[in-house]
Structure 1
Amino acid sequence: MAVKVEMAFTLIVALAALPHIVSTAAAASAENARDARIFELLDDDQDGSVSMTEFKNNQMLVFYILDHNKDLSLTADETFLQPDAFKSISGTDGKIDTLEFLDIVDSAFKQADTNHDGLLDRQEFVALLNRVRNR
């Protein structure tokens, strides 16, 4: 389940990643700016928190961006996951379909919502991104 939780955030982080980072200070600054921008994109109503609906709506955008051949499933070459992580999520058919992806999103949101208020604030969101990056 932990691998599934990481997938949704790994995909977001990978899509937003900068190709070259010059120094540690620059990296931290760029990472903070990138995290803030991702949070702003997810926070559709700009109320300072991300609801499950906002989270799911935007996660599907990530899914469709990744789904290069538009067959409504993700293959290993369409994701940024390590082969073993992809295999554990995709199951026997070797693909991640939209329902499997939504299950991942549900799990990721629930784990990130540490105060259980049904919303992700910026701190909860950044904490989850940091956990994903450090794995």
Structure 2
Amino acid sequence: MNRFWRIGAFALVGLLAVPLSPALAKKAAPVAALDTDNDQTVDLTETNKAAEALFDKLDKDKDGTLDKKELQGRLTRGSFAAADPDKDGTLTRNEFLWTVSSLFKDADPDNDGTLDAKELAAKKGKALVRVTH
């Protein structure tokens, strides 16, 4: 009987040592990527920080704007048009950050000012993740 207990204990330890399943890890990934204070949620400050870094990375010609090509499909045609009020075909840093802020608010249905993994996995959360990664 002692032998069976040891086998069961080893099996339990083995199960506890298994990392998150790929589905769970993928679901938590957007939070982990944006969550700089490690509180398991993402706020607008964290989101804007990621968006500013992405803006700098995507602005290949360093002209301070992003055009549709530089955005690499991160915004839908309608979202791009809404973010480009002067209709010049580019987004300034402020226009881009306004868009990110708008997407953040859309992804926060409980209006608590933070997004958890479930909210980021929803359709509106995925739109936000696409623009910040």
Question: What range is the shorter-chain TM-score in?
Answer: 0.5 to 0.7
**Gap change, CA 1:94 and 1:114, over 3 Å in 2:** same
Q: How does 1:85-104 map to 2 (within 5 A)?
A: 86-90=80-84, 91-104=86-99
Give aligned pairs, total. Answer: 105
Q: Higher relative contact order by CA 8 Å / sep ≥ 6: 1 or 2? A: 1
- Relative to the length of structure 1, the TM-score reads 0.65
**Which ranges in structure 1 are unaligned for 5 or more consecutive residues?**
1-28
Give the SS at the match of 1:96.
strand
**Gap change, CA 1:131 and 1:107, over 3 Å in 2:** closer
1:68 matches 2:64? no
- 8 Å Cα contact 2:104/2:128 also seen in 1: no
- 8 Å Cα contact 2:30/2:117 also seen in 1: no
Deviations 1:15-60 (A, max 9, x none): xxxxxxxxxxxxxx86764453332120001110011111111111
**Larger of the two Rg values belongs to structure:** 2
Give the Cα–Cα distance (whole angstroms) in 2 for the partners of residues 107 and 101 of structure 1: 10
Give the Cα–Cα distance (whole angstroms) in 2 for the partners of residues 32 and 88 of structure 1: 34
Partner of residue 126 from structure 2, selected from 84, 106, 129 = 129
Q: Specify the alignment match of 1:109 in structure 2.
A: 104
- 8 Å Cα contact 2:107/2:128 also seen in 1: no
- Relative to the length of structure 2, the TM-score reads 0.66
1:41 matches 2:33? yes
